[in-house]
A and B are shown apart, each in its own frame.
Chain A
């Protein structure tokens, strides 16, 4: 009993430590973003239109650009802590907060669906290959896995869209929409495409992790005890093999987030990723800064959540 209490105590301490580390990391990301964007050549107020020096001065005063750099940095940090990311340069009357609030849920739904698809597919196919080691299913799936790791997500997106167009044209009806967002049928193809690369990666990981525990003592014990094979597979093999897959979920979320930029672009999905790419193409600096810090904070949070989850699922993990 005492042991479990110290464990719980350790866990809370570990969680607090990770959260503090996360806050520091987000602060560093915000700082790096600020100073990087400050060094971008050019002047946001220097448009093609000639602006008189008086107007320029007023504008600079409005945006605080006439203050010393460190003071600007202070204002920026204060605003960010208050949750204010500023106003878009390219789109009038739209704050970065509005853009994130409006478009992030779309990206989140797409991302969650892809993660679920990639996770389930990866575990299923990984287990399938490990059971059929060096037989036909293993060879076929592992070939597809290498293909899935080697083909960029935008190629998958384009091929997926091309296939949909052709299939729809062939059948004469629209079985799945080619682009856009709104209904469940819009979500299927993009999330499948987005999850494909991660699924390939997870399949490989699951396979090697299944093979690694093949020689484990507890497995031999279970077999010699005469447990039914399905029980051995579900309780001993699968449960232990899934653990390493959970650890890479954090980095996988990062990969799916950035992969989402491209998939959203190709499938014309109004998510934050597409918005970010458009902001980059239009040099909409406040949106770039805001979304970078937002995405950075989101990814850091996800990694912490996954780590904490892992500590919860696997009591053997060392908390330090």
Chain B
């Protein structure tokens, strides 16, 4: 038996295993390392959201941050916005023969005549025997003692006048009215207190003028309209918190981002000149930088802020930027100088020079790209510092001039009303803290991704 073998050419191509992958540039590699850290990625998203909030926000939420809504002052988010439409205020005419006071009241009791609205609260009381006058108080809490009745509204010196109409800045809330009877010698004969629940009303004319209702004319009276919406409430002057936070973000983030860019730029220039010059000039320039570092930062921020604030109408942003640049550049200058001095001695610089590279080429191709990572990390960590500085200065009243809002000045205003309206302090404080936190985390992530040598530093 004969076996024949037929050899055919194989179609399979022998493959060597591919062990290489496309080479990554420095930035691609950094991005790959940055991406694996979820904390840095989340903070990057939050930074982007803050950017949108600042830049696009005022176009979406077009309310003027300086506009005062006097019907809604220090209103927390989600408050009742309903208001009943009423006619214009009419004078309180009292028919003396047919006095409206219920005769069943005892001598020291108070009564509300008609309905208590934000337009007017009408009080009446029975005359007290022996009294030659009365004093009316309005408090926002139940009086604990006769010495703490609240805001004195009027002194009535006519013993026969036992009524009072309060139209002073009424809000939709409960007030505690107290009337003290005074003897002719000025002694207090006793007092009575009444709690009054005030309902919010708005005149028809005003409701139409403000565009709160589609319908017009007197038929509106008795209807319920809704006052302007303030999603995050209003501040102590009735200004919209959301609009102020957005515009405040423009100021705070502008200073927080632009100031570091400017002083880091100045620092790069100064540091690289010193690093290149080397020798005596380098020594001299660094001595000067040491002197600037020794200046107490915030004290001189305040001092320079006083010096540069020339015009009373200015916002004070440029003065703050200038002061920050003048005081903050040395840290970057030192860093860049150190980097330049170090890179100068690297072998690849020598190799490049050997191949005929000029100074300009060396700076642009080797020195700047190699210091870029460190500079970017410095920049990111400088943002929280600048935001803190702006907030601190605005908080002590040396920052951005009112009515321009900034997060720091909003905190400063909010702290005065923090017990009655905590949202006025909490919102700007949360925004400052969140921004600083996010930039800190971003800086951590960038440092880990960009610079392997700095990784163990913290």
Contacts and interface: CB of A to CB of B under 8 A. Distances in A.
B418 A162 contact: yes
Interface centre among A39, A146, A150, A288 (most CB of B within 10 A): A150
A143 to B, nearest CB: 11
B395 interface: yes
Main secondary structure of the interface of B (DSSP, over half): helix
A265 interface: yes
Contacts of B52: none
Given A36-B307, A262-B395, A266-B415, A29 B295 contact: yes
Contacts of A266: 415
Query: What size tier do the contact residues of chain A reach?
Result: 35 or more
A212 interface: yes
A25 B294 contact: yes
Interface string A221-259: 000000000000000000000000000000000100010
Given A152-B432, A152-B433, A299-B296, A277 B396 contact: yes
A292 B440 contact: no
A283 B312 CA distance: 14
B392 A152 contact: yes
B307 A29 contact: no
B340 interface: no
B407 to A, nearest CB: 9
Interface in B433-451: 433-434, 436-437, 440-441
Nearest to A279: B302
Interface in B257-305: 291, 294-300, 302-304
B427 to A, nearest CB: 11
A159 B395 CA distance: 15
B307 A28 contact: no
Contacts of A159: 429
Given A29-B294, A150-B437, A208-B458, A295 B299 contact: yes
Contact of B291 (A28, A161, A296): A28
Nearest to B425: A158
A3 interface: no
A39 B295 contact: no
Contact of B298 (A146, A258, A283): A258
B433 A150 contact: yes
Contacts, number: 113
A33 B303 contact: yes
B310 interface: yes
Interface string A23-57: 00100110011001101110000000000000000
B422 A162 contact: yes
Interface centre among A32, A41, A152, A165 (most CB of B within 10 A): A152
Given A154-B411, A158-B429, A32 B300 contact: yes
Contacts of B304: 36
A32 B441 CA distance: 36
B249 interface: no
Interface centre among A33, A151, A283 (most CB of B within 10 A): A151
Given A32-B295, A162-B419, A292-B299, A280 B433 contact: no
Given A150-B440, A258-B299, A295-B296, 14 more contacts: A28-B295, A32-B295, A33-B303, A147-B433, A151-B436, A152-B388, A152-B395, A162-B419, A204-B458, A277-B396, A280-B397, A281-B398, A296-B295, A296-B296
Interface of A: 25, 28-29, 32-33, 36-37, 39-41, 146-147, 149-152, 154-155, 158-159, 161-162, 165, 204, 208, 212, 254, 258, 261-262, 265-266, 277, 280-281, 283, 288, 292, 295-296, 299-300
Ordered nearest first, which 8 A-B pairs have the shortest CB separation?
A150-B437, A155-B429, A150-B436, A258-B298, A151-B433, A25-B294, A277-B396, A158-B415
Interface of B: 291, 294-300, 302-304, 306-307, 310, 384, 388, 391-392, 395-398, 411-412, 415, 418-419, 422, 425, 429, 432-434, 436-437, 440-441, 456-458
